[in-house]
Amino acid sequence: MAHFRIGTMMLALGLVAGSGATLVLRLPSVAIAQQAMGGMDVGMKSKSAGDTEMNDAMNRMMHKMSKATPTGFQDRDFMMMMIPHHQSAIDMAKVELRRGTHPQLKALARDIINSQDKEILQMQVWLKAWYRQGS
């Protein structure tokens, strides 16, 4: 795991061997992380089309999360961050279904798509009902 000190904050990047990358941010907000990273890709150097697709999914998630403005309403802010997080998991699971070969991982990918899609829809309903807004 590589660590980068940004002022008094620590940014920890961990890479996972195989088809994807894991990013661990130890910062108070994703927006600060995006700014500190200066537009840097959050993934590792791509070695395949699947790696590129996974990296793109992570970058889309980070971009959307950085646009979420905290309101001080924990429940609302949680949903506004979780929706792009879940969407990124769905996008990566779709890459696994297209490009992966391991039957158990493909089954897991289908489960991720089904469960997290339902959770996104539920959070969108709650955002509309409780905060009168779409996501």
* pLDDT tens sequence for the chain (135 residues): 444 443 433 334 343 434 444 444 444 444 444 444 444 445 556 687 778 888 888 888 998 888 888 999 999 999 999 999 999 999 999 999 999 999 999 999 999 999 999 999 999 999 999 999 875
- Reading across the β-sheet that carries 9-14, which strands appear in turn? 2-6, 9-14, 22-26
Is this model's pTM higher than 0.85 or not?
A: no
Q: What pLDDT shows up at residue 76?
A: 95
Count how many domains the chain has.
Answer: 1
For residue 81, give the CATH number of its domain: 1.20.1260.10
- Within a domain: residue 22? no
- Within a domain: residue 57? no
Q: Are 110 and 93 within 8 A, CB to CB?
A: yes
What's the domain range around 101? 68-135
